[in-house]
Amino acid sequence: MSWRFSLLVTALVLGACQDPSAPKLYARDSIPTQLSDWQIAQVADRQLILNAAVLPYDLATPLFSDYALKLRTLWLPDGATAELTDTGSLDFPVGTVISKTFYYPRARDAADAADVQQTEQRLVAFDGASLALDQVRLIETRLLVHQADGWLALPYVWNEEQTDATLQITGAVKRLRLHSNENPRATVESFAYVVPNRNECAACHNLDQNQDTLSPIGPSVANLNHAMVADGSAENQLAALWSRQWLDEEPAVNELPAAAVWQPGATDNLEQRARSYLDVNCAHCHQPGGSGDTSGLFLHSGASKPL
C-alpha cells in the first residue's frame, strides 16, 4: 500500500469518525466481519433502523432478483459530492458507501422463517426510516465502497436471529419457500437463494472487461430521476441529492433522462419500459466492453441499434 493511499484512507476514516454516530469507512485490509460496524443501519426493537446520515433511494426500474425486495441506501462523506456526467452516470467520490439489503415479506400464517411471500409491491414494511422485522425476512446486504484504488464489493449475510449480518466472501445459499397468492390458486415453490461470492459481484460490476475496475449499476441519473414515495411523502431523488449537497451542480430534472417507472400490469409506453428493464438488468454485460459484447447484442439505453 502506497503512503499516499494510506494517508487518504486515514483521512477519510478520521473524517467519518469525527461524528461517532456517522457511518464508518474502513481500509481494504481492515474490513469488518459484521455489517453493524459500518453503522449504516442498526437492529433495535425488531426494526432495521437506518442511520440518519444515509439516504434511502429507489430505482425507477429495479433489477430482478428472485422476487426479492431491496432497501437501498447511499452515503457520502462530509464535503464530498457526486458529479453528473455527460454519459448519464453519477461519478461518486472516494468514500461513498452504497448498500442494498435484500429481503422478503414473511409468508402469511407461516411459522417457519423460510416461508416468504411473493409480492409486486415495493419496499414492503419500510416507513422511510426503518424496516419492520416482524413483517420481513432479511437475507443479505451488499456493499459497494469507493476506495481510493477503486470500488470494493462486499456481501454480508444476515443471521437467523435477524440481529446482524456477517461478511461472506465466498457467498452463501439460503433455502426458502416462495408463496404466491396469484390467481387462479396459491402455490408454494422451494428454491435456493444464492448470495453471490465477491468474484461474482465483480463479474457484473466490471462494466469494461478491458479494465480491472468495478462500477455501480443501479443508481444512474435516469434511474434516480423520479420521486421515491416513503412515509406518505415523495421527492425527486436527484433533487434530494442536491438538497443534501451531494451533487456538484443543481440537476435540471425535467431536462435529464428518466427511466420508465416499473409498474406491474402497466400496458402503456411498452418500448420505454422494455428499454429501461433491459438497461438495468442486462446492459452491464451487453454493452461495448462488457462481458457480453462479443454477442453483438447491446442493450444499454443509449444503443440506437441493439444488433
β-pair type (136-147, 150-158): antiparallel
Do 199 and 270 fall into the same domain?
A: no
Do 279 and 226 fall into the same domain?
A: no
Do 248 and 298 fall into the same domain?
A: no
Do 267 and 226 fall into the same domain?
A: no
Do 231 and 288 fall into the same domain?
A: no
Classify residue 204: in a domain, yes or no. Answer: yes
Task: Give the pLDDT of residue 153.
Answer: 94
Please give the chain's pLDDT, 307 residues, in tens: 443 434 344 444 444 445 778 999 999 999 999 999 999 999 999 999 999 999 999 999 988 999 999 999 999 999 999 999 887 789 999 999 999 999 999 998 888 999 999 998 989 999 999 999 999 999 999 999 999 999 999 999 999 999 999 999 999 999 999 999 765 567 899 999 999 988 777 667 665 666 667 888 889 999 999 999 877 778 999 999 999 999 999 999 999 999 989 887 777 788 888 777 787 777 667 667 776 666 777 766 666 665 5
Looking at 259, 276, 294, which one is the last position of a domain? 259
Task: Give the pLDDT of residue 7.
Answer: 39
Do 253 and 280 fall into the same domain?
A: no
Per-residue b or e along 241-275, where b marks 16 or more CB atoms closer than 10 Å to that residue's CB: bbeeebbeeebebeeeebbbbbeeeeeeeeeebeb
Do 303 and 210 fall into the same domain?
A: no
Spacing of C-alpha 181 from chain mean position: 27
Long-range CB pairs of 28-33 (<8 Å, 24+ gap) are 28/147, 28/149, 28/152, 29/1, 31/152, 31/154, 31/167, 32/167, 33/166, 33/167
Looking at residue 52, its amino acid is A
CA distance 208 to 290: 5
Whether residue 173 contacts residue 190, with contact meaning beta carbons closer than 8 Å, is answered with: no
Which H helix or E strand runs over 222? helix 221-224
Classify residue 138: in a domain, yes or no. Answer: yes
CA distance 12 to 94: 9
Classify residue 178: in a domain, yes or no. Answer: no
Task: Give the pLDDT of residue 25.
Answer: 95
**Using CA atoms in the order 150, 152, 153, 155, what is the torsion angle rounded to 10 degrees?**
-170
Cell numbers found for residue 218: 443501479
Domain limits at 285?
263-307
Query: Which DSSP symbol is given to 7?
Result: H
CA distance 88 to 222: 7
Classify residue 180: in a domain, yes or no. Answer: no
Classify residue 182: in a domain, yes or no. Answer: no
Looking at residue 232, its amino acid is G
Do 103 and 240 fall into the same domain?
A: yes
Whether residue 118 contacts residue 67, with contact meaning beta carbons closer than 8 Å, is answered with: yes
Task: Give the pLDDT of residue 277.
Answer: 79
Do 150 and 207 fall into the same domain?
A: yes
Do 267 and 254 fall into the same domain?
A: no
Task: Give the pLDDT of residue 54.
Answer: 98
CA distance 249 to 163: 39
CA distance 78 to 50: 18
Whether residue 131 contacts residue 192, with contact meaning beta carbons closer than 8 Å, is answered with: no
Q: 251: which residues sit within 8 A by CB, 6+ positions away?
A: 84, 221, 225, 238, 239, 241, 242
Classify residue 219: in a domain, yes or no. Answer: yes
Task: Give the pLDDT of residue 1.
Answer: 41
Owner of C-alpha cell 466492453:
289
CA distance 259 to 276: 6
When divided into structural domains, the chain yields a total of 2
Classify residue 221: in a domain, yes or no. Answer: yes
Task: Give the pLDDT of residue 5.
Answer: 39
Task: Give the pLDDT of residue 270.
Answer: 82
Q: Is 32 left (phi over 0), alpha (psi -120 to 50) or beta?
A: beta
Task: Give the pLDDT of residue 205.
Answer: 66
Do 219 and 149 fall into the same domain?
A: yes
Do 273 and 251 fall into the same domain?
A: no
Classify residue 20: in a domain, yes or no. Answer: yes
Task: Give the pLDDT of residue 244.
Answer: 96
CA distance 178 to 278: 25
